[in-house]
Structure 1
Amino acid sequence: MKIKCQEHYEKVVEYAKSIGDTTLQNCIERLKQWEKNSNGKYEIELYRDFAPYSFGFAEVAADGNKGIVGGLLYHGKPDQSYAVILEPFHGWSIHT
């Protein structure tokens, strides 16, 4: 996994720890599994999103072509992710 926003990433990880939340780490592990399942075809790139504590991500091949693109979004209180969710949720989730 390539983190293209290290300072933001560290801030978000620290925030998740401070509120006792594990959904961020669970989502990171899922994205790492996506990399593994691609048998080396894709690397996940994580970058900063406009929403607080959120990220965008993309599967990126060695030649620069992209696979799945989405968001690792924080649904806070209030939720500023602008993502549609069917039931209110507090924590991080993957959106594609």
Structure 2
Amino acid sequence: MKIICEELFNQAVEHAEKTNDPSLQFCLDRFRCWENNPNVKCEIIIYADSAPFSFGFTQEYENGNTGLIGGLLYHGNPDESFAVQITPKIGWQIHT
């Protein structure tokens, strides 16, 4: 996993730890599963988003192709992610 925005990412990790919110780690674990798929190797690249504690991501394959592009979005209170949740809750979610 490549994190382009380390300072912002570290702030999100600190917020998750401070609020006892496991959803960020759950999302990162899902990304690691994608990267470790033995059939299709890829790297997840995480970059800054405009919403607080939120990020965009790109899935890049070994052959140079791009897979999924989406967001690792934080739904806070108020929610500034500009994304729809079917069942609203506070925390991080992967959106594609």
Aligned residue number for residue 13 of structure 1 = 13
Aligned residue number for residue 85 of structure 1 = 85
Quote how far apart the aligned CAs of 1:27 are: 0.4
| Same amino acid, percent of matched pairs | 51
Structural RMSD (CA):
1.4
Quote how far apart the aligned CAs of 1:59 are: 0.6
Give a deviation string over 1:12-67, Cα, whole Å, max 9, x none.
10011011100000100001111111646310001111110001001113454311
Compared CA separation, residues 62 and 12, structure 1 to 2 (3 A): same
Structure-2 separation of matches of 1:40 and 1:10: 29
Equivalenced residue count is 96
Is 1:23–2:23 an aligned residue pair?
yes
Structure-2 separation of matches of 1:40 and 1:67: 11
Structure-2 separation of matches of 1:42 and 1:94: 17
Aligned residue number for residue 65 of structure 2 = 65
Structure-2 separation of matches of 1:83 and 1:21: 19
Name the SS for the 1:58 alignment partner: strand
Aligned residue number for residue 35 of structure 1 = 35
Normalising by structure 1, what TM-score? Answer: 0.92
Compared CA separation, residues 45 and 14, structure 1 to 2 (3 A): same
